[in-house]
Amino acid sequence: MDLTAVLAVLGLALASLYTWFRFAFGERLALAEKVPGPPSYPLIGHLYLLSSDMSKMFRNTVEIGKKSPEKVVRLGWMHRVAVALWNPDDVEVILGSSQMLDKSQDYRFFKPWLGDGLLISSGDTWRSHRRLIAPTFHIHVLKQFVHLFNRNSKALCEKLSPLTGQAIDAHDYLSEATVEILLETAMGVDRSTQKRGLEYASAVMKMCYILHRRHFRPWLWPDILFGLSEDGRRQQRLLTIIHGLTHDVVKKRKEERKQGITAGLYRRAAGGAEQNALLQDSTADCTNDSVMSDGLALGLKDDLDEDVGEKKRIAFLDQLLDAAEDGVVLSDKEVEEEVNTIMFEGHDTTAAASSFFLCIMGVQHDVQDRCAAELKDIFGHSDRPATFQDTLQMKYLERCIMETLRLFPPVPILARRLTEDVKIKSGYVLPESTTVILAPFMVHRDPDTYPNPEKFDPDNFLPERCADRHYYSFIPFSAGPRSCVGRKYAMLKLKILISTILRKFEVRSDIPYTDYQLVGDIILKRKEGFPLRLYPRVFDKAPVMVPRAEATAASVGAAEAS
Ligand code: HEM
């Protein structure tokens, strides 16, 4: 057969395929095509927009979004339809619903890693596991972690002290620290027995990169082809590290439980007198249910606010192991899947948030000075650990954390799959099976909600400004029935971790946050890493002035090293 004949057969086959798609899915596609979107082509739809450069891809996607005045964009290929939306009214229709809870099929790439864990499960499995897990992140449980947040934050500062003046990548240190904090708190496993935090954190980062890249390489979508690819083989190797740690954590905690060591009592004994006092401070005030100082609730009341009673205030892994004891409520496999889910969601998100925070402080010296002044008011010259009450006084720091989460939401997009046709507030009807992409990154940079949206302005979170804003216009933790189960944990941990670092160090960086090259590797990151330098903080003295050239060299050096 000559080339012309081959092309003719191929053309005919594609035309038949296209006709079949229009016939089989025509009604659905016609509905979807009313939603505006960039030009699309038969069969390949918008696949031509994919790029192998992740940072460019992120920028291009944001640019496409900015061109849509209605804050809704349709994308797709073959019969698949995806609609991205970021008008808070439309976001509410999806996230606020107690029906539209199914994750989109894009999350299936997580399955070999997270199994049927909370992040990707649906239906009765999700509902029953959520009911079991949500109370383990109630504020009454979290208050018992305060001394552990302190102890780990202090250990991180000790590790950073010899590095003062040197260029470091903040994310390397923060991701290791956040893994270790999770091990000690939610998992109840002593960090001194676990030396694999860094190895685990770096395996997770590489894993996210592979998962993200797979989304943009259609030929790797079929499992069989992916399994044969280099990325598929690398994923297998990374999973051995990731699952190895979680498996050992569960095993260790089971052994400890057999010896009658309960997580809280064990830590109390290990913490010494100072930490026992802290623990008492944390548990004494159980009347305040918020981790937010001004009552700036991150959400309306939800399942994280439901107190299950004193006897059931148990940390995450112990709760799961209790439920698995007779194998009726949870199987051992389900326990490990949930542990994998919490280990991932609980560390990488907060590592990104704290890394962005410190790098922003490194260039926003006035903001950093104000945070330091607030901490000085609370702690004076003492280096005592923070109490839960102290965290409620960190009002300005809290606003800075929220503003960081606004500009750089660690989860920049999330996706749901519609199980029925849904009319959104802007009038369009999204057909059943549509993948709806909710984009916190776009919601948070909408000039209709945030005047001057690209500017870092902690005052965006002054109570009076929050009061006037749509509830769904700030969604770093998602919102509604399927919102982040760890959001109170995250805020409390971030406050203690960051305040401990800022009390000890001044942070200097040289890349303005407007110049960050962002990549949405599942969790938002920077292509150049998170380069900065730390200097010992001396309260009541003029801030360390770092010559501009020196800071630039530090940034470049760190970026190259990463
Ligand atoms: C700054 C820190 C964090 C951010 C920005 C964040 C953000 C989010 C977002 C946006 C979702 C929804 C994801 C989706 O629908 O695809 C989510 C879900 C979840 N997060 Fe977080 N998260 C953070 C910290 C944590 C922590 C510390 C934990 C646990 C210790 C955690 C556990 C979870 C879990 C288990 C889910 C799935 C909930 C469900 O589907 O029912 N997260 N998080």
169 Ramachandran zone, left/alpha/beta (phi>0; psi -120 to 50): beta
What pLDDT score was predicted for residue 552?
41
Ligand 1 atom with least separation from CA of 353: 1
CA–CA separation, 406 and 449 (whole Å) = 12
**Does 286 appear as a known binding residue?**
no
Q: What would you report as the CA-atom Rg of the chain, rounded to the nearest whole angstrom?
A: 24
Q: Is the CB of 436 under 6 A from ligand 1?
A: no
CA–CA separation, 280 and 1 (whole Å) = 83
CA–CA separation, 522 and 5 (whole Å) = 44
For residues 484 and 345, the answer to whether their CB atoms sit within 8 Å is: yes
- Calculate how far, in angstroms, residue 242's C-alpha sits from the geometric centre of ligand 1: 19
Domain coordinates of the chain in residue numbers? 46-275+297-304+311-536
- Calculate how far, in angstroms, residue 403's C-alpha sits from the geometric centre of ligand 1: 18
Cα dist. 431→20, 58, 283, 427 in Å?
A: 19, 26, 49, 13
Q: Is the CB of 490 under 6 A from ligand 1?
A: yes
Asked whether the CA dihedral 375, 380, 382, 387 is positive or negative, the reply is negative
Which tens digit of pLDDT belongs to each residue from 381-420? 899 999 999 999 999 999 999 999 999 999 999 999 999 9
What pLDDT score was predicted for residue 557?
39
Q: Is the CB of 443 under 6 A from ligand 1?
A: no
Predicted-complex ipTM score: 0.99
**DSSP characters for 163-202?**
GTTSEEEHHHHHHHHHHHHHHHTTS---GGG---HHHHHH
CA–CA separation, 516 and 482 (whole Å) = 30
Mean local confidence (pLDDT), 335-364: 96
Q: Is the CB of 438 under 6 A from ligand 1?
A: no
> How many beta carbons lie within 10 A of that of residue 112, not counting itself?
17
Closest C-alpha residue for ligand 1 atom 40? 119
| Domain 46-275+297-304+311-536 grouped into CATH 1.10.630.10 | yes
pLDDT band at 283 (very low <50, low <70, confident <90, very high): very low
CA–CA separation, 310 and 432 (whole Å) = 43
Which tens digit of pLDDT belongs to each residue from 209-264? 999 889 888 889 999 999 999 999 999 999 999 999 999 999 988 888 888 776 65
Which tens digit of pLDDT belongs to each residue from 52-80? 666 777 777 777 777 788 888 888 776 67
CA–CA separation, 396 and 521 (whole Å) = 30
Give pTM, 2 decimals. 0.87
- Calculate how far, in angstroms, residue 478's C-alpha sits from the geometric centre of ligand 1: 8
Q: Using alpha carbons, select from 406, 393, 405, 480 the residue that is nearest to residue 436.
A: 480
Asked whether the CA dihedral 190, 199, 178, 319 is positive or negative, the reply is negative
Closest C-alpha residue for ligand 1 atom 15? 414
CA–CA separation, 258 and 253 (whole Å) = 9
Q: Is the CB of 531 under 6 A from ligand 1?
A: no
pLDDT band at 359 (very low <50, low <70, confident <90, very high): very high
